[in-house]
Structure 1
Amino acid sequence: MPSEEEKKSADASSAASPSGSPAFYDSRHGESAAHGHGFFREVWDGFKRDPNASVGQGASGRGNYDAETAAKATAESPLARKLKGRHLQMIAIGGSIGTGLFVGSGSALATGGPASLLIAFSLIGIMLYCTVHALGEMAVVFPVAGSFSAYSTRFIDPAWGFAMGWNYALQWMVTLPLEIVAACFTVSWWTHNSINNDAWVIIFIVVIGAINLFGVRGYGEAEFVFSIIKVTAVVGFIILGIILNVGGGPDGEYIGGKYWHAPGAFNNGFKGLCSVFVTAAFSFAGTELVGLGAAEAANPRKSLPTAIKQVFWRITLFYIVSLTLVGLLVPYTDDRLIGNSSADVNASPFTVAINNAGISVIPSIFNAVILLAVLSVGNSSVFGASRTLAALAEQGQAPRFLGYIDRKGRPLPAILITTACGFLGFFAGSDKEGDAFAWMIALSGLSSIFTWGSICLAHIRFRKAWKQAGHTLDELAFRSQPGLIGSWVGFIFNVLVLIAQFWTGFAPIGYAEMSAAQRTEVWFEVYLAGPIALLCYIGYKVWFRTKIVRTKDMDLVTGRRDLDITELLAEERAERAQWSRGRKFYKFFC
């Protein structure tokens, strides 16, 4: 029998719990402590609104934006902090390896040739290396919901934060159906279209939706598995590609660099190179998700720097090395590289290279990897869009219902709306397929460039405000390796890419043979994200009359999880000073 003291303690717990039942739930961390409740009751209670959740009043009326309340809402978001270091590392390494690399690189090779492919991906990779380090520095200091869109609001202009938040959410909302269709095309490689693609659309939507309903831990575990498989496949292709290139294939033919001589290293000259930049940007999209996950990391100060540093290896090994081999093994004149759709797995230069070598089994295995890769990016699409929409709602920049976060830390309405965008994949079976997906790609093509440029600009302004407030770099738990110079390089390069894409959209390859209507359509397909971002920015700025945030007015306190760690950081730096040269070299990159 319980004692009188135990009964009183239980009564007190019951009165304090939000449901009136004995402290069955810790709403902050999404952990059930249920006693006496069945499994289904616990699941049902998990979908209820977190009592600690609140939606900010960032934009409560015309000419009225409360930046302080908005910053507090993103800092105190009840998202579950369950991502571990291994989750963040795999999100950083394999989070964006999908159709952009495996399939989209085929059309890029056909457009620009192997040299353009390598140069464009290398330049975007360098720019992204600088960008992700800038993001990592801010995300370790401010692991808030919404990450880079919130930084644009706080360090640039609330109107620009609004534009970048919706720009990023829309990017992932249209990427989801693209990835689902790519998965359907992959399956049809085996079924030969004997099963209607609409059936696969439903199956993939259910699978991706179910993974995200398991919460951030489910997303993290799924990405951990997906990324291991993708990384293994790319490493396997690199080994196989080297063997095939030196004559180790079934026919024993030495290939070397003959395709760089005939048909050649470049196609369509400088314009061909500029045209590859959008494909490269689309391929690298998703790398910034590691910063978005900081708000849901158990210990971002420890786990985020390691994940950020590993971007170097992903760019070098998984993109540059594999695409170098693709350019050596496949001539850009191969008709299969164009494909019937932007999501056509038969247009994958990886599959074409293996088929050219006369190997019959491996293409099927690699297509299975492509299937998992596109599902992985689809999974990331729901995560990226839902967290951004919820953060926008918390800042008062999106409908309030999108800010609903349940007791398991899931932004349910945002997840459901994003997942519902997957039904756009039904266009794959219609006669309007080409037009529909051309416009969806147009919406997402340049979005990453705007996002990355905003991250670099926000970091530049953050550093200025940090110095102006009397802080030193020694107070930062993680410092961007390329530093302020890297952020300027990243920002300027993003602007140059936007200019190059404006030119290739205004005067595309084959411009002389096009009618005026066709030229206009091509420009919008390439540059649609630009007018949309500007419209969002100007409209919000005019309506709410926001101002560019002055550095002396920037909030450098709200959302900082570790405020007084200067002594701890000094001890850690003293310890690192005692490391051997080999360990310092390893830790610099990992």
Structure 2
Amino acid sequence: MTDSNKDKSISSEQVYSEDLDHDNSSIVSRVVNSFKPAAVKPDLDISQMSDLEKANYFASHQPLQQSLKSRHLFWLAIGGVLGSGIFVSSGYNLSIAGPGGLLVGYVIVAYAILCVVLSLAEIATQFTVAGSFISLFGRFLSPAFNWVFGLVYALSWLISLPSELVAIALTIQYWNDSISPSVWVAIFYVLIVVINLFGVKAWGETEFILSIIKVLAVIGFIILGICIICGVGDQGYIGARYWHNPGSFNNGFKGVCSSFISAAFTFGGTELVAIASSETKNPRKSLPKATKQVFWRITLFYIVSAIIIGFLVPSNDDLLLNGSGVSASPFVIAVSNGGIKVVPHIMNAVVLSASFSVGNSCVYGCSRVLASMAVQEQGFLPRIFGYVDRKGRPLVAIIFTCLIGLLGFLVESANEGTVFTWLFSVCSLSSFFTWAAICVTHIRFRRALYIQGRSLDEVIFVSPMGLVGSITGVIILGLIIIAEIWISIWPIGQSASVSTFWQNCLSLPLMIVMWFIYNIYNKSFSPLLIDLKDIDLDSGRRDWDVELLKQELAEERLQYQSKPFYYKLYKFFC
């Protein structure tokens, strides 16, 4: 590669916009100018590229600011999406599946998630796509799958935003139910909008602080929980009392299966770290390291918490099923049953911060996905959604997402629960399909390398679980989807229910219909999958000089091999 081409590869990583930091005009003028569109200057002649190559190029050259630091990505991976799923919804899982069923369900989904994030880390580090990893589906699967999975994934964030606002209002009612919940929805809605309009740095700092709070709270709960189990508190020694009575498993195998959707809601958003990585200065280093932290989050926060909850709260506790809002949280129930007066209020504050954090991430995640889909050549979304201003904000996508957030004011409606149940049905199984698609994408990336005569020597980060992890991940996620369809048709304790099926599985026929709509709109049915020999392995990469990259990676691996075993063990997990 010539020096001029190498220079181009360096400049392609920069954001081409006017330097507002050195603007000497008034503050008002600078604020107004910051909302003007960023001036992107293509650094290559794209006229000879195919449509798919153009899509890959534009997806990796959005003018988003790279303002996030490694510490932001680290804490986002550790505690960024710890939300009401683990703090509140785990109680419903416990009541339906029992402590054993809850633990088994979490372990199965946790293994699948670990396979997913490590597979995603490998391909997202190789092709750091500005805005969203969703465009990788178009590169390695087909444009139709890019559109289907991208829209459904964006919908999952979009619908979660008003839901989290409602959760915030209900959480505050634990302290004061005399004030209308819509007041709290309005206050926190404005806070979320303002934070996201301040840019990715403000969002990153907010998530950094909230993640630390959530992580410390969960660690504190685990320590406190162990103390209560061992006899500290009004109940005396608890031990494994509730595993024997009322029992370890409720509703047998169906109980375990029923915990999968709630577990998916709890684990949802784990892949957000890959979206945020494109707005860091050095994703090649920060993304692999951050994704490895997911192992610790899964083990410490989800698995250990599930074990502690199972020991502390009986699965037939009336509040688990009949409590509302945070009063149904097994965390709050556990410390309340232990006779500890102050801690429930602390846990309620943590649940509040967790819901606010997830709502904040909903705007970030959805806006980046929408903007990424809008700039691609296939026309997945109207171009206006790809508008990025001079501060690197996908402005139209943020505004659109925030407008949908106004649905949070449905908290005043008596039918609020029914409305959100059917809204979530649109993306009920979508998390499992998105995760499975990531694993399939990783498999096809490895196969494309082999078919095109290339090797892992040019792969920046190699997943520790390799192809085995992706294959087993696809199998497990496929079996979970089948299990969810089964219990949706024949719910626990009920006869066959059409309503329950559509509430839990509406996303399945919807995605099939969306796939046909895409092909009909484009007036041609594209192949189900792109031929492996035609997969583009080069355009949009940050490292243009493959031979130089191979040399650098070989040197890094040689240094790694010379390290002692404890260093290798540390690097494997961290």
Normalising by structure 2, we get a TM-score of 0.93
Distance of aligned partners of 1:146 and 1:37 in 2 relative to their CA distance in 1, 3 Å threshold: closer
Mean Cα deviation higher: 128-137 or 520-529:
520-529
Counterpart of 2:214 in structure 1 is 230
Which amino acid letter does the alignment assign opposite residue 76 of structure 1? H
The reply to whether residue 556 of structure 1 matches residue 537 of structure 2 is yes
- Report SS of the residue matched to 1:485: helix
1:355 to 318, 329, 336: 336
2:108 to 123, 126, 135: 123
Contact in 2 for aligned 1:29/1:80 (Cα 8 Å): no
Counterpart of 1:33 in structure 2 is 21
Kindly provide the CA deviation profile for residues 467-513 of structure 1, in whole angstroms up to 9, marking residues without a partner as x.
2222211211101111011001111111111101100111111223x
Contact in 1 for aligned 2:229/2:239 (Cα 8 Å): yes
Counterpart of 1:13 in structure 2 is none
Cα distance between partner residues in 1 of 2:322 and 2:186: 24
Give aligned-pair identity as a percent.
Answer: 47
Cα distance between partner residues in 2 of 1:485 and 1:362: 44
Kindly provide the CA deviation profile for residues 328-380 of structure 1, in whole angstroms up to 9, marking residues without a partner as x.
00011011112455xx1111100000111011100001110110001111111
Counterpart of 1:16 in structure 2 is none
Q: In the TM superposition, what are the counterparts of 1:503-542 in structure 2 within 5 Å?
A: 503-512=486-495, 519-542=497-520
- Report SS of the residue matched to 1:68: helix
Cα distance between partner residues in 2 of 1:354 and 1:113: 19
Which amino acid letter does the alignment assign opposite residue 180 of structure 1? L
- Report SS of the residue matched to 2:173: helix
Shift of 1:573: 1.4
Contact in 1 for aligned 2:235/2:337 (Cα 8 Å): no
Return 5+ residue gaps in structure 2 as ranges.
1-13
- Report SS of the residue matched to 2:246: helix
Kindly provide the CA deviation profile for residues 50-93 of structure 1, in whole angstroms up to 9, marking residues without a partner as x.
11189xxx9xxxxxx92222111101111111221111111111
Shift of 1:556: 0.7
Cα distance between partner residues in 2 of 1:348 and 1:149: 34
Kindly provide the CA deviation profile for residues 383-432 of structure 1, in whole angstroms up to 9, marking residues without a partner as x.
11100000110112011110100011110011111112221111111111
Counterpart of 2:293 in structure 1 is 310
Counterpart of 1:448 in structure 2 is 431
Distance of aligned partners of 1:497 and 1:30 in 2 relative to their CA distance in 1, 3 Å threshold: farther
Shift of 1:382: 0.7
Normalising by structure 1, we get a TM-score of 0.90
Kindly provide the CA deviation profile for residues 106-143 of structure 1, in whole angstroms up to 9, marking residues without a partner as x.
11111111111000111100001011000000011000
1:99 to 84, 90, 97: 84
Cα distance between partner residues in 2 of 1:542 and 1:534: 13
Mean Cα deviation higher: 367-376 or 560-569:
560-569
Q: In the TM superposition, what are the counterparts of 1:476-491 in structure 2 within 5 Å?
A: 476-491=459-474
Distance of aligned partners of 1:428 and 1:340 in 2 relative to their CA distance in 1, 3 Å threshold: farther
Cα distance between partner residues in 2 of 1:126 and 1:87: 25
The reply to whether residue 587 of structure 1 matches residue 571 of structure 2 is yes
Counterpart of 1:62 in structure 2 is none
Which amino acid letter does the alignment assign opposite residue 450 of structure 1? F
Which amino acid letter does the alignment assign opposite residue 105 of structure 1? S
Counterpart of 1:254 in structure 2 is 237
Contact in 2 for aligned 1:48/1:407 (Cα 8 Å): yes
Counterpart of 1:379 in structure 2 is 360
Kindly provide the CA deviation profile for residues 148-178 of structure 1, in whole angstroms up to 9, marking residues without a partner as x.
3211111001101100000000000001111
Counterpart of 1:175 in structure 2 is 160
Cα distance between partner residues in 1 of 2:506 and 2:39: 40
Counterpart of 1:244 in structure 2 is 228
Q: In the TM superposition, what are the counterparts of 1:47-126 in structure 2 within 5 Å?
A: 47-52=35-40, 66-126=51-111
Kindly provide the CA deviation profile for residues 308-342 of structure 1, in whole angstroms up to 9, marking residues without a partner as x.
1111100000110011000000011011112455x
Shift of 1:453: 0.6
Counterpart of 1:132 in structure 2 is 117
Shift of 1:292: 1.2
Which amino acid letter does the alignment assign opposite residue 248 of structure 1? V
Which amino acid letter does the alignment assign opposite residue 486 of structure 2? W
Cα distance between partner residues in 2 of 1:70 and 1:537: 19
- CA RMSD for the aligned pairs? 1.6
The reply to whether residue 217 of structure 1 matches residue 201 of structure 2 is yes
Cα distance between partner residues in 2 of 1:248 and 1:570: 55
Contact in 2 for aligned 1:197/1:428 (Cα 8 Å): yes
Distance of aligned partners of 1:137 and 1:425 in 2 relative to their CA distance in 1, 3 Å threshold: same
Counterpart of 2:350 in structure 1 is 369
Counterpart of 1:569 in structure 2 is 553
Shift of 1:29: 6.9
Cα distance between partner residues in 1 of 2:484 and 2:56: 34
The reply to whether residue 420 of structure 1 matches residue 408 of structure 2 is no
- Report SS of the residue matched to 1:445: coil
Cα distance between partner residues in 2 of 1:541 and 1:279: 33
Which amino acid letter does the alignment assign opposite residue 38 of structure 2? D
Contact in 2 for aligned 1:34/1:42 (Cα 8 Å): no
Kindly provide the CA deviation profile for residues 488-544 of structure 1, in whole angstroms up to 9, marking residues without a partner as x.
1111111111101100111111223xxx7xx11111111122122222112112332
Give the length in aligned residue pairs. 547
Cα distance between partner residues in 1 of 2:417 and 2:339: 31
Which amino acid letter does the alignment assign opposite residue 204 of structure 1? F
Contact in 1 for aligned 2:17/2:40 (Cα 8 Å): no
- Report SS of the residue matched to 2:300: helix
2:276 to 279, 293, 306: 293
Return 5+ residue gaps in structure 1 as ranges.
1-25, 59-64
Shift of 1:243: 0.2
- Report SS of the residue matched to 1:308: helix
Distance of aligned partners of 1:505 and 1:31 in 2 relative to their CA distance in 1, 3 Å threshold: farther
- Report SS of the residue matched to 1:310: helix
Cα distance between partner residues in 2 of 1:247 and 1:28: 62
The reply to whether residue 282 of structure 1 matches residue 265 of structure 2 is yes
